[in-house]
Amino acid sequence: MKKRCLVLTGGGDCPGLNAVIRAIVKRADKEPDWEIIGSIDAYNGILNDPMEYKILDNKAIAGIHVKGGTILGTTNKGGPFNWPIETELGEWKTVDRSDELLERFDELNVKAVISIGGDGSQSISQKLYEKGCNIIGIPKTIDNDLSSTDYTFGFQTAVEIATEALDKLVTTAESHHRIMILEVMGRDAGWIALHTAIAGGAEVCLIPEIAYDVDKIKKSIEERTDKRGGFANIVIAEGTHPQKGKIVAQSTTEIGYENIRLGGVGFELAEQLKKTGMKSDIRTTILGHIQRGGIPIAYDRILATRFGVKALEMVLDGDFGKMVAYKHPDIIGVTLQEAIASYNYIDLESNLIKTARGIGISFGD
């Protein structure tokens, strides 16, 4: 029987996931001893009864590099270490099913695992590695918030989508002399917002790394205001908060969902600006999941393909407990421990921030 390498996608979907899967399968096709199988909906496919997985051969992955989402399905709820179950009293609790998962890997002759996911998935990979699992991580997230890689795939596509949206909003801002607010994703790091603001020519960029002062935003807009009230374009990341205030989150009843559901800070900002006495009309657009969907741009397909090939080669070399990472110009392996040790916040002294300030973008500080 061939040795099996199990591939799975976990966390939020992201443009380029299918390009990674295709690259892994194509590279494995050169190895007669190995077969690739894909678990459905992250680890759920292996932990469900009956198990849900599929053999990934060349036919299964033909042409998928241009498709958004993931052909394997994904979930950002629960996981092998905190699997949600309903008690007899109708309450929910979590149980650790990691031992069972490893037993099922043996049953399926899985000799290696490639887990494609964000920071949460990489933490699960580290814990499985500590339990003896031969695992490799691949970093994915549109938020670009994983340290130890220059970029995660999916990020550049999200920036492209957000910039296109900003370009469209600028038209209305100019024509109606309005303030247009574009809320983009970015839980704890404002990478999408910052790139979009620079590329799309926003006057204000608000990011989680810098708590804003609404009076400073007002001042920066009024400095370039004409008699009719002036127009301005503001890009704000969903996880941003004012100096005197908290992040805007919604409650959720989704079982096993551990994240805070962000969204709506753009509307709050509009209210705050109005209260300062700003005369201009204000409109808010929340881009939401549009940023995560659709066709990956060429940059992300290439990065995803490089990650996929490298991950399979690390499997062949037995170089486990690592995550593939982009360190220009190379794709390297870093330990999962290192990958999850720190978070990729924007360095406020970085050239990108200085560039933005240099062209007059206000961060509300």
Binding footprint of ligand F6P on the chain (CB under 6 A) = 12, 76, 118, 141-143, 185-187, 238, 262, 292
- Closer residue to ligand F6P in complex, CB, 143/203: 143
Is the CB of residue 154 less than 8 Å from the CB of residue 207?
no
Report d(CA 365, CA 358) in Å as an integer: 15
- Edge-to-edge strands, sheet with 232-237: 204-206, 232-237, 179-184, 282-286
341's CB contacts (< 8 A; 6+ apart) are: 147
Q: How far is the CB of 74 from ligand F6P (least distance, A)?
A: 9
- Closer residue to ligand F6P in complex, CB, 197/262: 262
- Closer residue to ligand F6P in complex, CB, 124/185: 185
Residue at 86: amino acid letter: E
First to last CA, the chain: 62
Q: How far is the CB of 5 from ligand F6P (least distance, A)?
A: 26
Give start and end residues of each alpha helix (H) in the chain: 17-28, 44-47, 58-61, 98-107, 119-130, 155-176, 191-200, 214-222, 265-275, 298-317, 336-341, 351-358
- Closer residue to ligand F6P in complex, CB, 12/364: 12
Q: How far is the CB of 208 from ligand F6P (least distance, A)?
A: 10
Per-residue DSSP letters for 313-355? Answer: HHHHHT--SEEEEEETTEEEEEEHHHHHHSB-PPPTTSHHHHH
Q: How far is the CB of 360 from ligand F6P (least distance, A)?
A: 27
Q: How far is the CB of 327 from ligand F6P (least distance, A)?
A: 22
Share of the chain residues as helix, strand and coil, in percent rounded to the nearest 5? 35, 20, 40
- Closer residue to ligand F6P in complex, CB, 206/315: 206
Q: How far is the CB of 107 from ligand F6P (least distance, A)?
A: 31
Catalytic status, residue 143: yes
Task: For tokens 């996911």, name the residue.
Answer: 117
Instruction: Name the active-site residue from 13, 41, 119, 143.
Output: 143
- Closer residue to ligand F6P in complex, CB, 288/360: 288
**187, HSE (Cβ side, Cα atoms, 13 Å):** 15
Q: How far is the CB of 207 from ligand F6P (least distance, A)?
A: 13
Report d(CA 290, CA 304) in Å as an integer: 20
Q: What region does 325 belong to: left with phi over 0, alpha with psi -120 to 50, or beta?
A: beta
Is the CB of residue 304 less than 8 Å from the CB of residue 19?
yes
- Closer residue to ligand F6P in complex, CB, 41/238: 238
| Two tokens, residue 72 | 């394997």
**Residue number with the smallest Cβ distance to ligand F6P:** 185
Give catalytic residue positions: 143
